[in-house]
Structure 1
């Protein structure tokens, strides 16, 4: 390994975003910068098991963990 800067290979660069506390990186050359799912798209709820229903299943499904 060398510490020399190889200018022939394109690299990501840091871009400051006005009004933001965080900087962004430019996309990696040859990659697809589009996200797999757009923000705000909701995913369908997980499929429930088809087994027999227990006595507290309805309550457990309605409960929301405290960190939500």
Structure 2
């Protein structure tokens, strides 16, 4: 990966967070992960339903 293909950090005056420069072939839209719950179709493990029912002891 050459230096031109990498993102660079840009400091923005008066703003707390820096900005990253765009890279060719990418979009600024965030990747949205599909939420999965026990009992729905999709990849899930054998303990998912039990884990979702359990409440931590500090609750």
**TM-score band, normalised by the shorter chain?**
0.3 to 0.5
What's the TM-score, normalizing by structure 1? 0.36
For the pair shown, the structure with the greater C-alpha radius of gyration is 1
What's the TM-score, normalizing by structure 2? 0.39
